[in-house]
Amino acid sequence: MPRVSASYWVSMGIILIVLFCLLVPVTASAEEPMLICGASSLTDLIDVAARAYEAKAGTRVVTSYASSSQLARQIEGGLACDVFVSAHKDWMAYVKSKVGVDAPGIVKVATNRLVVVSPKSTAKTGDYRTILNGCRRLAVGDPEHVPVGMYARQSLSKLGLWDAMQPRLLPTVNARAVVSYVERGDADCAVIYQSDARFLDDERTITPLPEDSHDAIVYEAAVPKKAARPEDGRAFLKWFSAATRTGNALPTVNEALARLQ
């Protein structure tokens, strides 16, 4: 049997390492799941939708939640979301201008509304104006960039309450953080989405703010141009719209969740 030199084994080792490096990315890419990036107020809805879609389509789905503003900037920075769901049209417009969106373009998927959360003891004190004036600390999303806070500032400004409330504001990083401030007792009141009110106990009063005091709260979804799996993103959006709508009317977040459960 001919003797194999040490240089032969070194060469073979190098070849095997090169082949391994070439093959691993291909295998990993084939197993990469679809990524849905959603506004934090949609956590429950998208989680339920992701599991239902996995069961139906056999496509593995992972999710990422944050404020729409944070997600939009991450997508601009290179995050390969296959579906982006924004709680405010301005942040969807931001992604469209910075990155672009794939077909079918921007799709409206659900609606919501604003409510004021206050202690149960305020139930007999009157309307939202009286309740807000009685708040010691009011939790809101950061009005500079968090959608629920942007809507809150718009609403309270139109109602003539914003300036008076500013010294009492506790701004937060996203919609779910607003809810947690009330749950922990850091704030006695908060402006939140109606869909998030279900997380609070029975010791809270939920008072709607006038819908004409702010822009309509409409969640928009799209497949960013930087998506890693755009075909899966498009298929998910088509399925989601069909599964959550009745006719042409947009569902509320709570209605969409109920239709998927």
Predicted confidence (pLDDT) per residue in 23-59, tens digit: 444 333 446 899 999 999 999 999 999 999 999 999 9
- Determine the average pLDDT of the residues in 224-252: 96
> Is 29-111+218-260's fold the same as 114-208's?
yes
At 233 the pLDDT is: 98
Neighbour tally for 241: CB within 10 Å: 18
CA dihedral 89, 128, 40, 212 (to 10 degrees): -20
Q: Are 36 and 81 within 8 A, CB to CB?
A: yes
Q: Are 256 and 45 within 8 A, CB to CB?
A: yes
At 48 the pLDDT is: 98
Angle between helices 230-244 and 43-57 (to 10 degrees): 110
CA distance 13 to 3: 17
Domain ranges of the chain: 29-111+218-260, 114-208
CATH of domain 114-208: 3.40.190.10
Token pair in block for residue 112: 């919501």
The superfamily (CATH) of domain 29-111+218-260 is Periplasmic binding protein-like II (3.40.190.10)
At 203 the pLDDT is: 81
CA distance 44 to 151: 21
Rounded to 5 degrees, φ, ψ at 114 are: -95, 140
Q: Can you tell me whether residue 1 is helix, strand or coil?
A: coil
> Can you count the helices (H) and strands (E) in the chain?
10, 10
Q: Which residues contact 235 (CB under 8 A, 6 or more apart)?
A: 57, 59
| pLDDT grade for 230, boundaries at 50, 70 and 90 | very high
| pLDDT grade for 248, boundaries at 50, 70 and 90 | confident
User: Is residue 21 scored above 80 in pLDDT?
Assistant: no
H/E stretch holding 67: none
CA distance 204 to 196: 13
CA distance 4 to 12: 11
Token pair in block for residue 55: 């069961």
Predicted confidence (pLDDT) per residue in 120-157, tens digit: 876 556 689 999 999 999 999 999 999 999 999 999 99
| 60 against 7, higher pLDDT | 60
Q: Which residue has the tokens 């500032």?
A: 153
Q: Can you tell me whether residue 228 is helix, strand or coil?
A: coil
At 105 the pLDDT is: 97
DSSP assignment of 93-157, as one string?
HHHHHHT-B-TT--EEEEEE-EEEEEEGGGTTS-SHHHHHHT-SSEEEE-TTT-HHHHHHHHHHH
Predicted confidence (pLDDT) per residue in 159-202, tens digit: 999 999 999 999 999 999 999 999 999 999 999 999 999 888 87
Q: Which residue has the tokens 């202690």?
A: 119
- CB crowding 60-93: b at 16 or more within 10 Å, else e: ebebebbbbbbbbbbbeeebebbbbbbbbbebbe
Predicted confidence (pLDDT) per residue in 81-107, tens digit: 999 999 999 999 999 999 999 999 999
At 19 the pLDDT is: 41
